[in-house]
Amino acid sequence: MAETKTRPTSESVNAFLDRVASGDQRKDCAALVRMMKGAAKAPAKMWGSNIVGFGTYQMEYANGRTGDWPIVAFSPRKPHITLYISNFPERHALADKLGKHKLSGACLHIKRLSDVDARVLARIVSGSVKSVKEKHAG
Residues (pLDDT < 70) of the chain are: 1-4, 138
pLDDT in tens, 70-103: 999 999 998 899 999 999 999 999 999 999 999 9
Q: Give the separation between CA 55 and CA 122, rounded to whole angstroms.
A: 17
Number of domains the chain contains: 1
1 inside domain: no
Angstrom CA distances, 67 to 10, 23, 45, stand at: 18, 34, 16
4 inside domain: no
116 inside domain: yes
Handedness of CA 30, 35, 38, 44 (dihedral sign): negative
16 inside domain: no
Instruction: Give Cβ neighbours of residue 60 (< 8 Å, ≥ 6 apart).
Output: 66
Q: What is the CATH number of the domain that holds 128?
A: 3.90.1150
Q: Give the separation between CA 6 and CA 68, rounded to whole angstroms.
A: 9
51 inside domain: yes
65 inside domain: yes
70 inside domain: yes
Give residue 4's pLDDT: 63
Distance of CA 32 to the CA centre of its chain: 9
Q: Which domain holds residue 123?
A: 23-135
